Amino acid sequence: MIRNAQVAMLKESHPVYTGKSEGEVIRIKGDLMAGFHHNLPIKALPYILEELQSARHPYLIASAAYALRGLKTPLPQTVPYLLKAAGNLAHGDDTFFFDQDEHTTALKELFKTIKWHGAYAKAYIANVTALSDKLYLDREGKKLLKEAINAINGDARQTGNCCDEDLFCGGNIKPFGGIKKIKSLVLEDQEGGQIKYGEFFNGKPAVLVFFYSRCDNPDKCSLTITRLAHLQKQLEGKAKIAAITYDAEYDVAHRLKNYGLNRQIKFNNDVRFFRVNADFEQLRAYLDLGVNYIGPYVNKHTIELYVLNSKGEAVASFSRLQWENQEVINKVNSLLNSKKTTTAQSFYSILLSAGMAFFPKCPLCVMAYLSAFGISGMNALWVGNWLFPAMMVLFGINILVLAMRCRTNRFFLPLYLSCTGVVILIGDHLLLHEKAVTMAGLICILAGALTNAWGRRLQQMFGFGLVSA
Amino acid sequence: MNDNSNSPDQFGQQIDNTVNEYKASAEKLVQANTYQEKEDALYTMHYVHAEDRKAGVKTLQIATDKKEVINLRVKALQIIGNYLYNNPAAVKKIIGLLSATRENTKVKRAALDALLAIRFASPALLSQMPAFREGLRSIIHDRDPELAAKAIEQLAAYNDPGVLNLLHEGLKNPAVALAPEAKAIQLLGIQHTGGFSDTIRERLQKSRDTDVQIEAIHALSGDPAAQDDIQNILENKSKQKYVRLAGLSALNATAPHKFLESAKKIIGDPSDYNDVKVASLNAIAMQGRYNEISGDAEFLDQVKSLTGHDNAIVRKESSNFLAGHESYLENA
């Protein structure tokens, strides 16, 4: 229970972060992550990896690396995140205390965690070794790195490729609801024009990301928009593309436009950046956005991309870790294909409806069709060898259905009339070949259908219980 | 051909001379034993070459040796930057001077200056960043205000939560202030998500100090809650000119529409400052906002009337503004 509550607190939108300064948010989140040092639940892993991938603050990096050692078994797939975090530290490390007696730094924690991986980091030994050239290491740093390399090389444990967790597969889908409320949400685009959510996100699948121009982390908003521009090229107009700012107060139209243009976004009617001037909370609630605020300022946010269907409903999200473009394209393609399937289904559905409309639904219809066949000379078909057995099958089905219905209604007159009609028709076809007899048979069948439809009413009207069981 | 220009040969000769001079001075430094020899060598050198290990070691030794004369140590620290750049061990020793308890203030100042000079890209300093930050923290309460101020400024630039909180506390309680009020606001304004806006807004409303007001306006320039306060300052003719100009810049950045309202009032007011008028006109023109004033005949008449103003700058800028507007109309 407590573990689950701690994991829930890692999410940016948790109320604990509301109104807190960025410094306080870093401290709370860092403390929470460090608390997982002895037991890191797998649910918390995406949050840890997110910080390793994109955090710049040394305390967040240190505590994420420290927490990773709380996994029961090392995961080889986490090593690239540790390497990325080491690169992010080029902006400056700092000193912390996790144990009362010993001070540590983010770089020390990263090297200790790589060392802890041992054989599980073997696939990345070349990248780990290359750190000595890429990073600015003092004597102690070099010593720790050497220890990590030795631990990897000297570990004889057999490791499998052990990960079947969703976080490595991307495209995680969250439950969504309440689209109706946000359809009327007014969006203001990078030209200052206004359009409703339901109008823009309509008719085509869409890719939607969130960002804000004051974000000072180059691995978050700036990279998100740069990657979105790349995605725009790859999607080739198959989907609408939108970016909505978390910071509507500051990101006025010209800032939205410049931010996009500077990152190679090509704006057009289907590619726009927006701010939501009122009721952003509705959108935030609908998508369960990973953002929190201190007053008007964003104090913490995650990376998030949503794929929307042609009705503007979110059907997939790629959050926390930077998405793979191909995964997003696959999702858009699957939406486009399902749209084609839906179109095909609609076509067959129309055909079926038309068939149903023209299908003889009562004896009068049958009579009308027979008359039409007679006029057009199609009565010749009657003598066809195939038609008689087909008619027998249909009669059989008719009688079977009538029998079941009559048994339910405990009123058997329709069944008897239909059976009589069928017997007459068969007799006529095999022996007599008289039109008058054929008509008599058809009239009996018609009477059976009519009494089946109105039998109850006839009973009530005239009170006869004839042949009722 | 310019007679004063050097030919390639002359230029090459100058380089050779410089190199030779350096070599001679460095050699003198390495062999120096007495105060006079060391002084002669150090004062003829402008820097220690990064690759010159012998001279570097000697300079570092002079800089860190408490028995040396202070002036020599300071001079050594002033020229050691290049050598420090890629030498973590040397950087570590210089950082050690910052946190040394009985170190001379002049030496500490020179050590801090040497480190700050290489702080942007020195691999050696980056590898020692935790120790550097600790060193800075150790001197924020130093009895030398200049030393403390530099350390505080640097830590605030690193968003050091401890220093930011101390600065914030100082705004609320001047008795524990780590820095003068205006400086504290300037440093707190670096981190707009620091949660200091309420306090800074309060200081903007209450303080009569011009510097405090200017720094507070800069710090609040992205704060929607401060827009009305800043607009009032901009329109308040009794406020000091530079305070109003800071308000103009801030309001234009954060609330362009409110700025335009105020700018029209200022430009149309014959009794307002010329500088503020000119800045308002320029702000509209520089951002090409002619489309927003094009339909306002009254405003354009007011600008036209400024072309006959007593002040030459007002005349020139209002004419430029109208020319820009004409050009906009032609291209529209």
Residue A467 has pLDDT above 50, yes or no: no
β-pairing verdict for A206-211 and A194-196: unpaired
Domain boundaries, chain B: 11-158, 221-332
Q: Extract the tokens encoding A65.
A: 């690396």
What is the spatial distance between Cα A183 and Cα A289, in angstroms, rounded to a whole number?
A: 17
Q: CB of B191 within 8 A of CB of B222?
A: no
A376 token code pair: 């057009």
Residue B17 binned pLDDT confidence (cut-offs 50, 70, 90): confident
Render pLDDT for A253-265 as a digit per residue (tens, 0 to 9): 989 999 999 999 9
Q: Within chain B, how many helices (H) and strands (E) appear?
A: 21, 0
Q: Which CATH superfamily is domain A179-339 in?
A: Glutaredoxin (3.40.30.10)
Q: How many beta-carbon pairs under 8 angstroms link A with B?
A: 75
Q: What is the 3-state secondary structure (H, E, C) of B43-64?
A: HHCCCCCCCCHHHHHHHHHHHH
Which member of B126, B159, B192 has the closest CB to residue A297?
B192
- Which residue out of A60, A89, A91, A93 would a mutagenesis test of the B interface target, given it has the greatest number of B Cβ atoms within 10 Å? A93
> Could you tell me whether strands A240-245 and A206-211 are parallel, antiparallel, or unpaired per DSSP bridges?
parallel
- Angle formed by the axes of helices B35-44 and B70-79, nearest 10°: 30
pLDDT tens by residue, A90-146: 778 999 888 777 889 999 999 999 999 999 999 999 999 999 988 888 888 999 999
Residue B289 pLDDT greater than 70, yes or no: yes
What tens digit of pLDDT does each residue of A180-221 get?
889 999 999 999 999 999 999 999 999 999 999 999 899 999
Which two structure tokens, joined as six digits, stand for B234? Answer: 């901009």
For residues A148 and B259, give the distance between their C-alpha atoms in angstroms, rounded to a whole number. Answer: 58
- Is B195's CB within 8 Å of A24's CB? yes
Handedness of CA A220, A221, A226, A232 (dihedral sign): positive
Tokens 């960025």, located at residue:
A22
Assigned CATH topology for domain B11-158: Leucine-rich Repeat Variant (1.25.10)
List pLDDT tens digits, range B213-250. 999 999 999 888 899 999 999 999 999 999 999 999 99
Token pair, residue A211, equals 């960002």
pLDDT digits (tens, 9 = 90+) for A2-38: 778 899 999 999 999 999 998 899 999 999 999 999 9
* Site of tokens 């320029």: B282
Residue type, A237: G
CB contact under 8 A, A295 and B164: no
DSSP A169-210: T---------HHHHHT-EEEETTS-EEEHHHHS-SS-EEEEE
Nearest-by-Cβ selection for B223 from A27, A90, A296: A296
Token pair of A82 as six digits = 């540790």
Spell out the domain ranges in chain A: 2-168, 179-339, 363-462
Would you place residue A417 in the very low, low, confident or very high pLDDT band (cuts 50, 70, 90)?
A: confident
Q: Do B225 and A139 touch (CB under 8 A)?
A: no
Contacts of B246 (CB under 8 A, 6+ apart): B213, B214, B217, B218
Is residue B43 within 8 Å of B77, Cβ to Cβ?
A: no
| Token pair for B126 | 């980056």
CB contact under 8 A, B254 and A250: yes
Q: Which residues of B102-116 are buried (b: 16+ CB within 10 A; e: fewer)?
A: ebeeebbbbbbebbb
Q: Distance between CA atoms of B178 and B184, rounded to whole angstroms?
A: 8
Report whether pLDDT(A168) > 70.
Answer: no
Sort strands A271-275 and A240-245 into parallel, antiparallel or unpaired. Answer: parallel
Residue B37 has pLDDT above 90, yes or no: yes
- Chain B: nearest CA to A250, how far in angstroms? 7
Tracing tokens 């009327």 back to the chain, one arrives at A184
Mean per-residue pLDDT of chain A: 84
Pairwise CA distance, residues B157 & A216, whole Å: 13
B297/chain A closest Cα distance in angstroms: 24
Contact B92 A92 (CB under 8 A): no
Fold for domain A2-168?
A: Leucine-rich Repeat Variant (1.25.10)
Band (pLDDT 50/70/90 cuts) for residue B14 is confident
Q: HSE-up of A99 (CA within 13 Å, CB side)? A: 8
8 Å CB contact between B66 and B42: no
For B92-102, the pLDDT digits (tens) are 999 999 999 88
A361 pLDDT tier (thresholds 50, 70, 90): very low
Taking an 8 Å cut-off on Cβ atoms, the answer to whether B129 and A27 are in contact is no
State how far residue B251 is from chain A, nearest Cα, in angstroms: 12
B42 in Cβ contact with B62 (< 8 Å)? yes
Largest CA distance in chain B: 82
Cβ distance B127 to A214 less than 8 Å, yes or no, reads no
ipTM associated with this complex:
0.80
